[in-house]
Structure 1
């Protein structure tokens, strides 16, 4: 800011005039300062909330989040619970409010169970971003989305169909994932079932099972599917706990990819052994480290006082320019200028040939 120069004068009027000019100069400088109201990166705290801790998918997301925070200079607290429940996430959100956090980035276990807690956070001035699994869009600014329901629903079906000798023939199909209420996975399955009805009308959905995001429960459910449906052809697991558990259940029973098609979404580190020993042929995901990094950066960006408008773009270090899409790309009715979705640019199908190219 330019400082006014004071010269020795001999009249009170002259002194008063120059003091007034100095004050006006200071005010003018503040009003044109482009950084006015912006918080320093070192003063910003983001709480990064997974569905549950101890899961390879969410731990990898946190790795990306911490790397981004270190690079930019803000702070990220990884705060979750071993069990993914609404009660646990409400407690974590309330803790973020009480600690004076600037923003939260959360993978929600429920599409509407967190509304009251999130409203409390918004009322406290906390910026809310979701990643991996969304909430009611009225209660967040941006959703860092791994893919829209049509993208991911079709991907799940295509990964399975590509392994069948004749996918147009009748197939017994099972869905196996975390919960009947978790918003992301249910939206993928809903679209996938429409896609199956149109493209593979001879497929029969014989069961839909849920592992509750728990490794032991998921293993038991996986074993139960194989026992109850001995002629099952395809088991699709759009869940990072259910898929490795299902593969382990098949391996325990001495089954491999020639006996039953098992595919879905999970991190490569959790599935590599099953690709290499022939239990499964493929599975999919996206780069969850990038997703975690993007989620906390957008949270930080908002906490700095920046606006995020639908149709606008944000330059993200090392990830490039991302665009804010309207909520309608996820099938929502709610539209607002300051509430939108950022879709990750790509997804990955992992096979025995490429799995060692990835480490997350």
Structure 2
């Protein structure tokens, strides 16, 4: 009887060992504690809804989520305000979201809400427009201020026979506090002072991301400054509104240079009817896709430190750069920036090649 019990014990031990080995083999590709993709929920937050730029970013986010198998909730408000974004962040925390990816309307107005999210274990990624880097892990950046500031100026200067001659220039974008656009304009003004010292900045106007107000501001610029040479609009609401205001007055690209950043779908008609010569942007669908993938990657339990690289499905390898590439002084191993690899100048010739 003892021999039988001993034999049973040996056989049981062997079977248990084989079972554990099989399970270990099955989970070899998984990190300890890694969640199943279907269990992860990312909240994707735009500055505002109803804008072609942000809707295109969401298209990319949803396509990435479907490809990988995690969930993305698009949650924004028609008005891009601090109060609205605070409410959306709080809602994400209360609903049990694993991560958020947000395009911020302010550089510091969301700090308290973001700290609450971090304290609750929610991973924070920013895209398009950053927050204080203390309150997020990674910023998915369309381009550093020197890249985008110079691009705005070069798109305008390239339309002039002699860019060294005096020019009256207007800036027109969303608000005096929005972090991304102000950083581009600040660099662009330094670039102008160095490269085109005869240019004069005659006004800086803001449309607050509102289509109707932006159209009114655009009309006001043309009426107040009838001799304006160029109007640069680094904002996806201001640029189409400015082009429409010029079209309403019967003006075209020979009368006034209008350029800036907006999605090709929102500007194609103005290229084709010669209201404008060019405008620029980056692939915002890629930016939305990358933002939610990095948020998902962090929510799975992976760490991302400055200098690390990540293989992103369908996009290749991306690298986490230090915050200093954006001009920030804040340094931390777990806080960095991923810069999109390219930007696009759209013209009448190539605009039909893009659909976002």
> Shorter-chain-normalised TM-score: which range?
over 0.9
Q: For 1:336, what is the secondary structure of its paired residue? A: coil
| Normalised TM-score (structure 1) | 0.93
- Residues 260-282 of structure 1 show CA distances to partners (whole Å, capped at 9, x for unaligned) of 00000000000000000000000
Corresponding residue for 1:54?
Answer: 50
Corresponding residue for 2:333?
Answer: 337
Q: How many residues align?
A: 353
Query: Which of 317, 323, 326 is the aligned partner of 2:322?
Result: 326
CA distance in 1, matches of 2:258, 2:228: 10
Query: Which of 77, 80, 100 is the aligned partner of 1:81?
Result: 77
Q: For 1:46, what is the secondary structure of its paired residue? A: strand
Q: For 2:228, what is the secondary structure of its paired residue? A: coil
CA RMSD of aligned residues (A): 2.3
CA distance in 2, matches of 1:158, 1:136: 29
Q: For 2:91, what is the secondary structure of its paired residue? A: helix
For the pair 1:72 / 2:80, whether they are aligned, the reply is: no
For the pair 1:348 / 2:344, whether they are aligned, the reply is: yes
**How many angstroms does 1:305 deviate by?**
0.4
Query: Which of 79, 86, 108 is the aligned partner of 2:104?
Result: 108
Query: Which of 222, 227, 231 is the aligned partner of 2:227?
Result: 231
**How many angstroms does 1:309 deviate by?**
1.1
Query: Which of 196, 204, 207 is the aligned partner of 1:208?
Result: 204
**How many angstroms does 1:111 deviate by?**
0.4
- Residues 307-330 of structure 1 show CA distances to partners (whole Å, capped at 9, x for unaligned) of 111111000011000011000000
**How many angstroms does 1:165 deviate by?**
1.6
For the pair 1:311 / 2:324, whether they are aligned, the reply is: no
Corresponding residue for 1:262?
Answer: 258
CA distance in 1, matches of 2:207, 2:331: 34
* Structure 2 segments unaligned to the other structure (5+ residues): none
**How many angstroms does 1:22 deviate by?**
5.8
Query: Which of 149, 152, 164 is the aligned partner of 1:153?
Result: 149
**How many angstroms does 1:35 deviate by?**
2.9
CA distance in 2, matches of 1:136, 1:102: 20
**How many angstroms does 1:26 deviate by?**
5.6
Q: For 2:204, what is the secondary structure of its paired residue? A: strand
CA distance in 2, matches of 1:10, 1:287: 69
CA distance in 2, matches of 1:10, 1:84: 73
| Normalised TM-score (structure 2) | 0.94
For the pair 1:277 / 2:277, whether they are aligned, the reply is: no
CA distance in 2, matches of 1:52, 1:9: 73
- Residues 156-186 of structure 1 show CA distances to partners (whole Å, capped at 9, x for unaligned) of 0000000012110110000000000000000
